[in-house]
Amino acid sequence: MKKALIVTGGWEGHEPYKSAQIFNEFLISCGYETKISTNLDVYLNIAELKLMNLIVPVWTMGEITRNQEKNLLQAVASGVGIAGWHGCMGDSFRQSTDYQFMVGGQWVAHPGGIINYDVQITNTTDQITKGISNFSICTEQYYMHVDPSNEVLATTQFKGDQIISDIAPYKCEWITDNIMPVVWKRKWGQGKVFYNSIGHKLSDFDVPEVLEIIKRGILWASR
């Protein structure tokens, strides 16, 4: 039986435990034996990590120790898959650049907060996105620093007319028409990495395209 580790916690605004439950139930339905941990110390047991087929991190912000980070990265490099979404994987540990290197990107802004925007499927033949059409969604549009080695599967285009934030209360015209990756996959050593920047709130998973892409991405990443 395949094994999956779900590690959930951090900033409560993303409802980490509730969103983790959605994909825990999915993995169980696919025949996985799952373990949910609410403590990053689960990463200290490298022997257990390397027995996993898949790790699903659901942890926004916070801090990871050097040993926790080292073991996680080594486990993925050994072939354990990792898959996640939004800030629960793409904004987990802001001071940990090695972790961000593994993910393939890091959140830096969501101009305008909750807005309507379009997602374009740019790879229509990949098993994760095949048969899925372009779609629209109302949620945070993530502006990210991304790795050029990512294999991008879907993108979004920024209008540049939203207010950046309370700290920077002006429009970001300079990003007008910028194309930003939304969904990508990549390798980290022998491990497969999947990421989708959508998933700010539970209702995001009610959008069929979002839910299906993440389900497929999780199964693709799994060893």
Q: Phi and psi of 109, rounded to 5°?
A: -165, 160
- Reported pTM: 0.97
pLDDT at 170: 86
Would you state the pLDDT for residue 80? 98
Say which amino acid occupies 115. I
Can you give the pLDDT at residue 189? 98
What is the per-residue pLDDT for 115?
96
Tell me what pLDDT residue 130 has. 98
According to DSSP, residue 17 is labeled: H
**Per-residue buried b or exposed e for 202-216, using 16+ beta carbons within 10 Å of the residue's own CB:** eebbebebbbebbbb
Element (H, E) at 209: helix 208-221
Given this model, what pLDDT does residue 191 score? 98
Identify the CATH number of the domain in which residue 80 sits.
3.40.50.880
Closest CA to 144 of 210, 98, 94: 94
- Number of domains observed in the structure of the chain: 1
- DSSP 8-class letter at 115: E
pLDDT of residue 137: 98
β-strand pairing of 3-10 with 151-157:
unpaired
pLDDT of residue 93: 98
Parts of the chain with a pLDDT under 50: none
Segments forming the whole domain that contains residue 147: 3-221
Residue entry with tokens 């990508």? 184
CA 50 to chain centre: 21
| Number of neighbouring beta carbons within 10 Å of residue 38 | 15
DSSP SS3 for 102: helix
Q: What was the pLDDT predicted at 167?
A: 80
